Structure 1
Amino acid sequence: MSVNIKRETAYLYVVQISNIILPLIMVPYLAHVLGLDFFGKLSFAQAVSYICIFIVDFGFNFSAARGIGINIGKNKEIDKLYSNVQFVKIILFSIVVVFLFFLSLFINLSVIDSKLMLLGGISSLSSIVMPVWLFQGLGRNSYVAVLNLITRVFSMVFILLLIKSDADIITASSLQLLSPLVAGVIMQYFMIKKEIVRFKVKDISVSNSVTITKDSFHNFSASFLTLGFTYFNPILVKLFLGDSALGLYSFAEKLANVLRQLYIPLVQACFSKICILFQEGNTPIIRKIILKVFVFFTILTVIAYVGNVFLGDFIISLFFSQSASVSQLLLIMIITQGVISYSMILVNLIIIPAGFSFYLKRVYFKALVSYAVVIYPLIHFFGVYGVASSIVAVEIIIVACFGLFICKKKILLN
């Protein structure tokens, strides 16, 4: 299967621009009709969903994608890998849902929060029916992007028609969290019709499942350590500062994440090609690709920061009453996104394709310890600004560690 990186990247960016516009419409609308407190509850449901999806993914988005990338054209190997990965994911999803059900019975949550937590768990089924890792390995991320875009547009239309007050919080959360699940069901039909890959029970074996799970464990255990300073942040804000503060934090975070959406397509489009180049030992070409990505990400970050300095407060005030607070948070979060973009380059385009995934958890453990040391005093004295600042500090530590490791191992000089 031949992959044209430029064409794939351009197509992904066309779709991604739409994915950027949709949140810019939906975030202000939902914050307005739900109110700050219930927008915080929606953000809580999304945080639970992200954590559950992360567990069900179990690092396969990297290790299994790499396995697909180096076996392009070998249909039997791809079918075997796909079948075993899906089998493991089904087991993980079952464990997650059962755990959340019993957790909702024993912890002190409101009825609404309990329902939202369970909804977040159910939404992780999308990780199974929408095998992003498969298309990333094949270098066909645009298939996933287009389908997700279509379902998100329909979700947005229904939200605009149906969500009118905080009484609609469950409906709003369902429309937000379950649209990827709908996209996944459609994708399964498309995969079967086009015979992209086949799920074969006969290919499933305990030994193969254990092997691929072990291969993914380095990625999973490393990324698991990042939960404390990524997906758990909204939950910490909710516990220490309440739903209103979470609504404010999440509003700013969702706007900042728009910037990350500009980084992702280029990394996804290059991943498969980089894996092949590492297999071939063609480091000069790898260095050229990485340099171009680095420069592009830097330009995007600078434009976003300068734009927020001069226009952020005015634009946000058109949709949100606490525009000054959001704009100040955005300044911190834009810097964070810029640092994260460098981390994405170092991890997704160098360390993982080069086969050094084992090192990730060492760095993330150091980052988690650093985060644990600073988060309480920062959140106590500076509130949501302290939370945002802690993430910047941790991400800088991560990038520095990865950069030193790459230099020490001379990964790009071989």
Structure 2
Amino acid sequence: MGQPNIKKNYLYSLLYQILTMIIPFITAPYVARVLKTDGVGTYSYTQSYMTYFTMLAALGTSSYGMREIARCRTKKEEYSKKFWEIELLTVFTTIICLIGWIILILFSSEYKIYFIALTPSLFATMFDISWFYTGHEKISYTVFWNALCKILGVICIFIYVTDKSDLALYIFINSIMLMIGNLSMWIFLPKMLVKVNPKEFSFKSHFRETLIYFVPTIATTVYTVLDKTLIGIITKDDYQNGYYEQATKIINMAKTTVFVSVNTVMSARISYLFSEKRISEIKARIEKSINYILLLGFAATFGVVAIARDFVPIFFGNGYDKVVNLIYWMSPLIIIIGVSNCLGAQYYTPAGLRTQSSKYIIVGSVTNFVMNIIFIPKFGATGAVIGSIIAELTISVLYFFHCDGYLTIRQVSRCSYKRIVSGIIMLIVIKSISSCWMRGVLSLIVEIVIGALVYFVSLLLLNDAMIKEIFFVLQRKVLKK
């Protein structure tokens, strides 16, 4: 079997991530105006509860399953057996979580209808086998039907969600489309697997390993989802959660562009390289990945700060002014999480050091929880952002100092300072344009286009190695044509 094409896989993954980024751009302005700030806040708050249950249902199968399949992807009988062992374990844990979810629904009063609407998300977790295809580096198998379901979901939202009273329907549409998208991946399984004798199944070792992978998942959830739960519990204000949800949405779209696709593709490849003990190639790939992540990361960080004040009222409508300051506070997370995510996905997980990375994530989670308790009562949603920044910085620093030289601070600083200078220049230019123009869609488009040009031209003038490489590749292709 030939090696999967990394460029092609990255393109599939990038196109899918672009779609997942475009969809909120299409739906978020409509949903923000129809459901209003408190409706969005209710969705954010109830969704945070479902996240805990889906997290428990999945255990650590996403990362663990991907790694296990990647390590034996040339041995069909072995990976077929592992697939069924890991998937049946997920079915078992999901059924247990479903029982707990039903109990929550029975004892809930104010949010009962919304919890019922979220139920398909649990079944989506049960049927999610994306880890199997990612382990084989067959990204296209997970992309097409999921993309189709997302587009269908958008159409349903515009047709059926027309009033604030349709909040439960909006939640249900998102949940059911997620479930259908995950079910669609089972279509391709018959040609990938061989028959396995169920009597040979062994679940004990998988359960132990998934628990190891589950620990950092719990810890990560503490500072990515518990924020929303604590904002709701402490402030008792759906508006605060509404502002936080919308700011998070913008930052998440930026993060998707910067590092999700490259880490999804590279994690499986590096898992395979670790099994082959090709250390020098692993280090080279990680260095190239972080270079790429920082190139886009600084552009996104300075870019969202530059356009936030013009973007938010155009995108979300009236009543969301407080989202602007939250975006300012959140913007450094694009870089901070980009670095830690790269190391987590491309070193700690492929190297089988999940237990070690779990310790650092737990430290960050405890830090985040303490910071939330301190800052949310005083600053509301902004306090949750402060807690997240401190927690993510803690994790990134710990990751750096214990990664055995697979990535160094010198490597990061070497490809950062020119991007920071270019980002500042871009920020100044965009703010200058904004002060001269009347705010509107046209001026926002002009700001984005000119800002991007300024950033990349500045890097070219500053002799940035990666930009030069991209420029010369494009130049050669043009000349060849």
Normalised TM-score (structure 2): 0.80
Greater displacement, 61-70 / 219-228: 219-228
Q: Per the alignment, do residues 369 and 184 of structure 1 end up closer, same or farther by CA in structure 2, a change over 3 Å counting?
A: closer
- Aligned match of 1:148: 146
Number of the residue aligned with 1:12: 13
Is the CA contact (8 Å cut-off) linking 1:87 and 1:204 kept in structure 2? no
Q: How does 1:388-399 map to 2 (within 5 A)?
A: 388-399=385-396
Which residue of structure 2 aligns with residue 226 of structure 1? 220
1:34-55 CA deviation, whole Å, 9 max, x = no partner? 1111111222333233322222
Per-residue deviation, 1:256: 1.0
1:264 Cα deviation from its structure 2 partner: 1.1
Higher relative contact order (CA 8 A, sep 6+): 1
Look up the match of 2:211. Answer: 217
Query: Partners of 1:74 and 1:156 in 2: how far apart?
Result: 40
Aligned to 1:257: 252
The aligned residue for residue 420 of structure 2 is none
What amino acid is the match of 2:248? E
In structure 2, what is the equivalent of residue 64 of structure 1?
Answer: 65
Cα offsets for 1:86-130 (capped at 9, x unmatched)? 1111111111111121123335x41xx123224334312112323
Supply the AA of the counterpart residue of 1:236.
L
The farther-off stretch of 178-187 and 380-389 is 178-187
1:272 to 268, 272, 275: 268
**Closer, same or farther: CA 330–95 of 1 in aligned 2, 3 Å:** same
Q: How does 1:19-34 map to 2 (within 5 A)?
A: 19-34=20-35
How far apart are residue 182 of structure 1 and its match?
Answer: 0.7
Which position in structure 2 is the counterpart of 1:127? 125
1:303-318 to 2 correspondences below 5 Å: 303-318=299-314
Q: How far apart, CA to CA, are the structure 2 residues paired with 1:127 and 1:201?
A: 25
Task: Please list the CA deviations of residues 163-204 of structure 1 after superposition, one character each: whole Å capped at 9, or x if unmatched.
Answer: 111111111001112212111222212323xx1235756156
Deviation track 1:56-98 (CA, whole Å, cap 9, x = no partner) reads 2211111121110011121111111111111111111111111
Report the Cα offset of residue 153 of structure 1: 0.4
Larger radius of gyration, structure 1 or 2? 2
Give 2:359's aligned amino acid. Answer: R
Decide whether aligned partners of structure 1 residues 204 and 227 sit closer, same or farther in structure 2, where only a CA change above 3 A counts.
Answer: farther
The 1:351/1:175 distance shift into structure 2, 3 A limit, reads same
Partner residue in 2 for 1:244: 239
The range that moved more, 390-399 or 294-303, is: 294-303
Distance 1:186 1:351 in 2: 31
Report the Cα distance in structure 2 between the residues aligned to 1:172 and 1:373, rounded to whole angstroms: 34
1:162: Cα distance to partner? 0.9
In structure 2, the residue matched to 1:385 is 382
Residue 153 of structure 1 aligns to which amino acid in structure 2?
A: I
Question: Shift in Å at residue 154 of structure 1?
Answer: 0.4
Unaligned runs of 5+ in 2: 409-481
**Structure 1 residues 204 and 9: alpha-carbon distance in aligned structure 2, compared to 1, 3 A threshold:** same
CA distance in 2 between partners of 1:198 and 1:163 (Å): 44
- Deviation, 1:411, is 5.7
Separation in 1, partners of 2:124, 2:197: 21
How big is the alpha-carbon RMSD for the aligned residues of Structure 1 and Structure 2?
1.9
When residues 93 and 152 of structure 1 are mapped into structure 2, their CA distance, relative to the original with a 3 A threshold, is same
Contact 1:226-1:364 at 8 Å conserved across structures: yes
Distance 1:245 1:289 in 2: 41
Give 1:353's aligned residue: 350
Q: What is the CA–CA distance in structure 2 between the aligned matches of 1:361 and 1:308, rounded to whole Å?
A: 31
Q: Check if 1:159 corresponds to 2:157.
A: yes
| 8 A Cα contact 1:222 1:365, kept in partner | yes
What does residue 198 of structure 2 align with? Answer: 202
The percent identity for this pair of structures is 20
Please, which of 175, 188, 191 is the counterpart of residue 190 of structure 1?
188
Which SS does the other structure have where 1:406 is aligned? coil
User: For residues 351 and 88 of structure 2, what CA distance do their matches in structure 1 show?
Assistant: 27
The equivalent residue for 1:326 is 323
What code does the residue aligned with 1:382 have?
A: F
Q: Which amino acid aligns with 2:361?
A: Y
> Which residue in the other structure is 1:174 paired with?
172
- 1:85 and 2:81 equivalent? no
1:344 positional shift? 1.1
Question: In the alignment, residue 305 of structure 2 is paired with which amino acid?
Answer: V
Q: Secondary structure at the match of 1:226?
A: helix
Quote the offset at 1:379 in angstroms. Answer: 0.5
TM-score (norm 1): 0.92
Q: Is residue 216–residue 357 contact of structure 2 (8 Å, CA) maintained in 1?
A: yes
Q: d(CA) in 2 for partners of 1:17 and 1:171?
A: 26
Q: Could you tell me how far apart the structure 2 residues matched to 1:105 and 1:10 are?
A: 45
What is the 5 A alignment of 1:333-344?
333-344=330-341
Alignment of 1:391-410 (within 5 A): 391-407=388-404, 410=405
Partner of 1:284: 280
**Structure 1 position 31, deviation (Å):** 1.3
C-alpha displacement at 1:139, in angstroms?
0.8
Q: What do the CA deviations read for 1:205-251 (whole angstroms, capped 9, x no partner)?
A: 3xx21111111211101221222211222111122222111111101
Unaligned runs of 5+ in 1: none
Paired residue type of 1:256: I
Q: Secondary structure at the match of 1:164?
A: coil
- Separation of aligned partners in 2, 1:284 and 1:249: 42
What secondary structure, in the 3-state scheme, does the structure 2 residue paired with 1:225 have? helix
Counterpart CA distance in 2 for 1:170 and 1:300 is: 37
* Residue type at the aligned position of 1:250: E
1:323, CA displacement in angstroms? Answer: 4.7
Aligned residues between the structures: 404
Tell me, yes or no, if the aligned pair for 2:121 and 2:175 is still in contact at 8 Å. Answer: yes
Give 1:355 deviation, angstroms.
Answer: 1.5
